[in-house]
């Protein structure tokens, strides 16, 4: 090969690099065999204390649900795993057709007219929804309800403020918005697990000529009224709950849906159905004139990925669950969480400070700092709820899903009784 | 006489029916446990939903459907994929094995750092590796893709100027060869984009650069090697000019596989660089994500890294890893700490290859691209005839009437994925070919032979070429119709 190129060595191919900077010292370890790599990663894995070995009641935006075995079997197929973004449609119909399925599923779950192919995660979806609302309304302020998850609110600020967009906080009983407000951002179920009055808040937004943008848990949407039913304009969700492992925070997929009238302002990839030269049905990436590779600095967003593989995971999960299965999962979560909440509320010193309807997650007021209680729970093999004492006094956010058996719930209750 | 009836359905039609078309009421693909607690009162029906339509199909049908449509895809596992700038190289399966270890895949991001020391040790180790290959002082693993890494770099540049009395610095220089994400990211950071042309050798035009290096300069976004597959030999001078004008130099690390271990971007004068772990460090592309786009920075930008970074507290009873917030952080960019599963895969790959492996990556990537360039010399125009790096850009202009699109589509018939085409924009009928470091000489020879045959067809049977591909599940698709009559989800016919 070197002969064909006409050089003497591989090093000769790097002669364009200035000599004084070429071949720097590289302080990295020696290669390892595959067996040694697996042992090293096994060691790191076992240094963590993880749900499975421990009973866990953590949620706060990331939810553990049972995932049928076919999900990982199918997404690990090399045809999905090792293909690129489907620019060459003729060679990518598998990815494009499954993306079209993802868009169908996203729109159905959210009760909305159209969806894109997916965003990075739930937090960035909400941030992109805010930016999109500013484009649609040509306004420059964003109102965010104070029950939106704090990490989501921070991402919205990181995205919006450099573009000169002002983000301000309102309570969920807000009735008036500031002038020049492009949208109202609401999460339901909110960070504390409770359902918001999405219909009422949508009216508030619309009365001010602003768009209503929401973030939701897609599993809850199989049981509770959808954003679409309330007239929401842009509805987003964290797709992780649909069969995607917690994986310490990612990769996940953001669900992004909106009303038909706004779809040309959507960020991200979109698959569309069309026909080939012989009249056969096929799918392509479409409406690409919104996108960065065509429009460059005038694009609707810089995003390229649709987090396709995670979107596929969610699609296969929903296909397995189907209409009845997903509703059943939601009901199991609802009943178990309410059972747990009832039991915990009866323990002396513990109470439930919030009264609104919740889905699978609720706030417990503890008799002492949740950090102390969680340490004592950990000794008993239990990962307790999230310590939110910075948001509400001695608050612990407890999540119960279908993967928590009654025995696990009862053991949490007796442990809390003992710890006091 | 019995009339021959057309079959109601062909296997091809069946294969393409969507999930909702297959739905039969009452079917499901899952078995769920019975409720083991007393049923609890439901909220009022006004809050509940009864209009959710989802497909009702069996598990077997789900498997057959998704297996069948998967086979309509080209992939690295099945095809050579010389897609320039995308680094479609082999994705080792050990990456998948480690990312699915239960202590990593089941770890919940709300667990305390004390419960996740193994994960934090891994993330810290990856930060150190990425700092070493770029020569930088700091690394943030949060960005969730390459473009997200660009956005974080851009926001750091903005924050740096704001903190140093440079709020008037709004001008971002971007070469005309740059990926479209560069100007789009700059715009999301509130900057005004000015394009800089390339000179006759494919380097950045230094005269144009000097003219634009005024006191409203925020910086430059630069891809090294460039998207022309060339190492820009003006790079050190370029960094000097930008710095003297008070600007910062952003490096797009899309093409890092060409220079791993050969040069450190920090040494050349770059202030910030993002890396595409899904390109350089072999994490699978997944049909369009998930990716990961960590950013590495020098000392000037260290305080601005996105939140959180992982630091280590050393003590007599071992290292303790903690999350920390850089003092002037641009804030949070995503829900948690980045694409952890992707970061695990990249860490696995680097651990497997070690320092020597970094040199092997760049050596083989550049060797393969130059070999392929020589195999195709004379068949396609070579607008920049220099030693190339990891990719080579040809122009499909030799035969009149034959377009890059035709060549690309015809390649699919030979079982090769098309090269990147019509990019970079400065080359007419561009075909951008990146063989990557993991392909064999035999595969490249076969690919070159296919291209030579296509060249022959271009001369003798151009119509056949215009109608390609002929062997894919569908022929050329009507993109204009897709955009004009958007059909974006299933609906009942």
Q: Which residue in the set B16, B40, B331 is minimally distant from A281, CB to CB?
A: B16
Q: Does A345 touch chain B (CB under 8 A)?
A: no
What pLDDT is recorded for position B7? 56
Is B37's CB within 8 Å of A10's CB? no
d(CA A340, CA B36): 12
pLDDT, tens digit, 9 for 90 and up, residues B258-297: 999 999 999 999 999 999 999 999 999 999 999 999 999 9
What pLDDT is recorded for position A296? 82
pLDDT, tens digit, 9 for 90 and up, residues B137-168: 999 999 999 999 999 999 999 999 999 999 99
Do A386 and A309 reside in the same domain of the chain? no
- Residue B202: CATH number of its domain: 3.40.640.10
Q: Which of residues A315, A331, A361 is at a domain's end?
A: A315
Measure in Å the smallest separation between the Cα of A368 and chain B Cα atoms. Answer: 19
Residue A389 lies in a domain: yes
B305 interaction partners in chain A (CB closer than 8 Å): none
Do B341 and B379 reside in the same domain of the chain? no
Do B381 and B273 reside in the same domain of the chain? no
Is B110's CB within 8 Å of A386's CB? yes
Do A225 and A357 reside in the same domain of the chain? no
Do B334 and B363 reside in the same domain of the chain? no
Is A80's pLDDT higher than 60?
Answer: yes
Q: Which of residues 261-300 of A touch B (CB under 8 A)?
A: 263, 269-278, 280-284, 286-289, 291-299
Residue B242 lies in a domain: yes
Do B195 and B324 reside in the same domain of the chain? yes
What pLDDT is recorded for position B14? 66
d(CA A66, CA A242): 9
Measure in Å the smallest separation between the Cα of A315 and chain B Cα atoms. Answer: 10
Q: Which of residues A280, A315, A350 is at a domain's end?
A: A315
Q: Which of residues 194-223 of B touch A (CB under 8 A)?
A: none
pLDDT, tens digit, 9 for 90 and up, residues B303-321: 999 999 999 999 888 899 9
Range B239-246 average pLDDT: 98
Range A74-99 average pLDDT: 97
Do A288 and A352 reside in the same domain of the chain? no
Neighbouring C-alpha atoms within 13 Å toward the C-beta of B207: 2
Q: Which of residues 368-387 of B touch A (CB under 8 A)?
A: 368, 370-371, 373-375, 386-387
A318 interaction partners in chain B (CB closer than 8 Å): 54-55
Q: Which 8-state DSSP code applies to residue A187?
A: E
What pLDDT is recorded for position B468? 96
Q: Which of residues A284, A315, A346 is at a domain's end?
A: A315
Question: Confidence band (pLDDT; 50, 70, 90) for B87?
Answer: very high
Do A135 and A268 reside in the same domain of the chain? yes
Measure in Å the smallest separation between the Cα of B419 and chain A Cα atoms. Answer: 10
* A39: CB partners within 8 A, 6+ apart: none
What pLDDT is recorded for position B318? 87
Residue B79 lies in a domain: no
- Residue A166: CATH number of its domain: 3.40.640.10
Domain that holds residue A348: 323-419
Q: Please state the φ and ψ torsions of residue B117, each to the nearest 5 degrees.
A: -65, -35
The answer to whether the beta carbons of residues B388 and B369 sit under 8 Å apart is yes
A62 interaction partners in chain B (CB closer than 8 Å): 108-110, 336
Do A209 and A192 reside in the same domain of the chain? yes
What pLDDT is recorded for position A227? 98
Residue A46 lies in a domain: no
Domain that holds residue B378: 355-472
Do B346 and B384 reside in the same domain of the chain? no
Is A121's pLDDT higher than 60?
Answer: yes
d(CA B487, CA B493): 12
Do A373 and A307 reside in the same domain of the chain? no
Do B320 and B468 reside in the same domain of the chain? no
Residue B432 lies in a domain: yes
Residue B479 lies in a domain: no
Do B346 and B371 reside in the same domain of the chain? no
Do B295 and B394 reside in the same domain of the chain? no
Nearest Cα to B136, choosing from B247, B255, B270?
B270
What pLDDT is recorded for position A299? 85
Residue B33 lies in a domain: no
Residue B43 lies in a domain: no
Q: Which of residues 18-47 of A touch B (CB under 8 A)?
A: 18, 21-24, 26-32, 34, 37-38, 40-47
Range A272-296 average pLDDT: 90
Do A129 and A240 reside in the same domain of the chain? yes
Q: Does B238 touch chain A (CB under 8 A)?
A: no
pLDDT, tens digit, 9 for 90 and up, residues B340-381: 999 999 999 999 999 999 999 999 999 999 999 999 999 999
Range A311-339 average pLDDT: 98
Q: Which residue in the set B66, B102, B476 is minimally distant from A276, CB to CB?
A: B476
What pLDDT is recorded for position B144? 98
Do B246 and B161 reside in the same domain of the chain? yes
Q: Which of residues B336, B353, B370 is at a domain's end?
A: B353
Do B396 and B445 reside in the same domain of the chain? yes
Do B321 and B366 reside in the same domain of the chain? no
Do B148 and B226 reside in the same domain of the chain? yes
- Residue A350: CATH number of its domain: 3.90.1150.10
Do A402 and A297 reside in the same domain of the chain? no
Least confident piece of the model among A245-249, A292-296, B165-169, B323-327: A292-296
Q: Does B72 touch chain A (CB under 8 A)?
A: yes
- Between B2 and B319, the higher pLDDT residue: B319
ipTM above 0.95, yes or no: yes
What pLDDT is recorded for position A293? 79
Residue B17 lies in a domain: no
Q: Which of residues 165-194 of A touch B (CB under 8 A)?
A: none
Residue B198 lies in a domain: yes
What pLDDT is recorded for position B493? 73
B103 interaction partners in chain A (CB closer than 8 Å): 44-48, 50
Residue A12 lies in a domain: no
Do A94 and A231 reside in the same domain of the chain? yes
Q: How far is CA B188 from the centre of its chain?
A: 19
Q: Residue B374, Cβ neighbours under 10 Å: how many?
A: 15
Total number of domains in chain B: 2
Average pLDDT over all residues of chain B: 95
Do A301 and A334 reside in the same domain of the chain? no
> Exposed/middle/buried for A110, CB within 10 Å: 0-12, 13-18, 19+?
buried
What pLDDT is recorded for position B6? 56
Measure in Å the smallest separation between the Cα of A280 and chain B Cα atoms. Answer: 7
Do A239 and A339 reside in the same domain of the chain? no
Is B334's CB within 8 Å of A7's CB? no
Total number of domains in chain A: 2
- Residue B398: CATH number of its domain: 3.90.1150.10
Q: What percentage of chain A has pLDDT greater than the value 70?
A: 100
Do A258 and A357 reside in the same domain of the chain? no
Q: Which two tokens stand for residue B430?
A: 């561009």
Average pLDDT over all residues of chain A: 97
Q: Residue B177, Cβ neighbours under 10 Å: how many?
A: 25
Closest chain B residue to A276 measured between Cα atoms?
A: B477
Is B287's CB within 8 Å of A250's CB? no
Task: Please give the model's pTM, rounded to 2 decimal places.
Answer: 0.97
Question: Confidence band (pLDDT; 50, 70, 90) for B3?
Answer: low
What pLDDT is recorded for position B5? 54
Range A72-100 average pLDDT: 97
pLDDT, tens digit, 9 for 90 and up, residues A235-277: 999 999 999 999 999 999 999 999 999 999 999 999 999 999 9
């Amino acid at each position: 090969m070197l002969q064909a190129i006409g050089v003497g060595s591989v090093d000769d191919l790097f002669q364009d690099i200035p000599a004084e900077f070429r071949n720097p010292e590289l302080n990295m370890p020696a290669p390892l065999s595959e067996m040694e790599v697996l042992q090293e990663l096994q060691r790191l894995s076992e240094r963590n204390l993880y749900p499975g070995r421990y009973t866990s009641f953590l949620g706060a935006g990331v939810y553990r649900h049972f995932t049928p075995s076919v999900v990982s079997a199918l997404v690990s197929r090399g045809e999905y795993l090792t293909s690129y973004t489907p620019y060459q449609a003729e060679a990518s119909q598998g990815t494009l057709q499954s993306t079209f399925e993802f868009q169908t599923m996203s729109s159905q779950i959210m009760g909305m007219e159209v969806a894109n192919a997916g965003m990075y995660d739930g937090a960035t979806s909400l941030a992109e929804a805010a930016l999109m609302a500013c484009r649609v309304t040509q306004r420059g302020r964003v109102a965010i309800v104070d029950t939106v998850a704090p990490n989501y609110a921070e991402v919205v600020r990181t995205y919006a403020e450099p573009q000169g967009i002002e983000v301000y906080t309102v309570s969920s009983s807000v009735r008036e918005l500031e002038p020049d407000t492009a949208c109202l951002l609401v999460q339901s179920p909110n960070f504390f697990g409770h359902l918001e009055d999405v219909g009422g808040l949508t009216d508030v937004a619309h009365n001010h000529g602003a768009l209503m943008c929401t973030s939701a848990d897609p599993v809850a949407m199989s049981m509770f009224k959808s954003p679409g039913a309330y007239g929401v304009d842009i509805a987003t969700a964290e797709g992780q709950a649909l069969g995607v492992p917690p994986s310490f925070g990612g990769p996940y997929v953001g669900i992004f849906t909106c009303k038909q009238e706004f779809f040309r302002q959507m960020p991200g990839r979109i698959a569309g159905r069309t026909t080939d030269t012989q009249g056969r049905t096929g799918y392509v990436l479409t409406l690409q004139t919104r996108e960065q590779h065509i429009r460059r600095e005038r694009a609707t967003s810089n995003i390229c990925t649709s987090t396709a593989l995670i979107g596929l995971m969610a699609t296969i999960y929903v296909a397995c669950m189907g209409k009845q299965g997903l509703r059943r999962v939601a009901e199991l979560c609802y009943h178990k969480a309410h059972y747990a909440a009832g039991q915990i509320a009866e323990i002396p010193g513990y109470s439930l400070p919030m009264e609104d309807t919740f889905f699978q997650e609720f706030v417990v007021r503890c008799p002492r700092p949740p950090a102390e209680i969680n340490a004592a729970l950990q000794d008993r093999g239990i990962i307790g709820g999230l310590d939110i004492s910075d948001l509400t006094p001695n608050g612990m956010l407890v999540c119960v899903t279908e993967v928590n058996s009654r025995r696990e719930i009862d053991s949490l209750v007796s442990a809390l009784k003992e710890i006091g | 006489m019995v009339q021959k009836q057309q079959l109601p359905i062909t296997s091809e039609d069946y294969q393409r029916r969507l999930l909702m078309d297959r739905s039969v009421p009452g079917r499901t693909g899952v078995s769920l446990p019975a409720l083991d607690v007393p049923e609890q009162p439901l909220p009022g029906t006004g809050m509940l939903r009864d209009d959710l339509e989802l497909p009702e199909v069996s598990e077997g049908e789900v498997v057959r459907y998704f297996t069948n449509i998967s086979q309509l895809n080209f992939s690295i596992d099945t095809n050579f994929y010389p897609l320039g700038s995308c680094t479609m190289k082999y994705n080792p399966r050990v990456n998948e094995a480690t990312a699915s270890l239960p202590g990593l895949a089941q770890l919940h991001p709300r667990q305390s750092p004390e419960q996740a020391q193994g994960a934090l040790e891994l993330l810290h180790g990856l930060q150190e590796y990425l700092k070493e290959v770029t020569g930088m002082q700091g690394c943030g693993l949060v960005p969730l893709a390459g473009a997200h890494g660009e956005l974080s770099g851009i926001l750091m540049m903005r924050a740096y100027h704001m903190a140093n009395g440079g709020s008037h610095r709004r001008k971002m220089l971007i070469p005309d060869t740059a990926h479209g994400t560069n100007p789009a990211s700059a715009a999301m950071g509130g900057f005004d984009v000015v394009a800089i042309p390339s000179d006759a050798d494919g380097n950045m035009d230094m005269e144009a650069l000097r003219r634009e290096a005024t006191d409203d300069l925020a910086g430059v976004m630069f891809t090294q090697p460039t998207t022309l597959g060339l190492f820009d030999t003006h790079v050190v001078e370029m960094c000097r000019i930008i710095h003297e004008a008070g600007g910062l130099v952003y490096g797009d690390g899309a093409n890092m596989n060409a220079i791993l271990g050969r040069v450190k971007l920090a040494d050349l004068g770059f202030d910030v660089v993002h890396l595409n772990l899904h390109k350089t460090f072999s994490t699978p592309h997944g049909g369009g994500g998930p990716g990961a786009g960590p950013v590495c920075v020098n000392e000037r930008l260290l305080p601005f890294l996105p939140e959180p970074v992982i630091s280590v507290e050393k003590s007599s009873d071992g290292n303790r890893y903690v999350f920390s917030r850089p003092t002037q952080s641009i804030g949070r960019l995503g829900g948690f700490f980045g694409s952890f599963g992707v970061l695990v895969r990249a860490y696995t790959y680097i651990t497997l290859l070690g320092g020597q492996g970094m040199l092997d990556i760049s050596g083989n990537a550049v060797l393969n691209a130059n070999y392929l360039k020589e195999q195709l010399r004379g068949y396609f125009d070579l607008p920049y005839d220099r030693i190339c790096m990891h990719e080579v850009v040809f122009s499909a202009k030799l035969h009149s009437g034959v377009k890059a699109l035709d060549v690309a589509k015809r390649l699919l018939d030979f079982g090769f994925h098309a090269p990147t085409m019509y990019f970079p924009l400065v080359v007419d009928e561009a075909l951008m070919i990146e063989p990557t470091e993991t392909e064999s000489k035999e595969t490249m020879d076969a690919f070159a032979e296919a291209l030579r045959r296509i060249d022959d067809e271009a001369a003798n049977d151009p119509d056949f070429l215009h109608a390609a591909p002929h062997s894919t599940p569908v022929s050329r698709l009507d993109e204009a119709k897709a955009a004009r009559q958007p059909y974006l989800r299933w609906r009942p016919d």
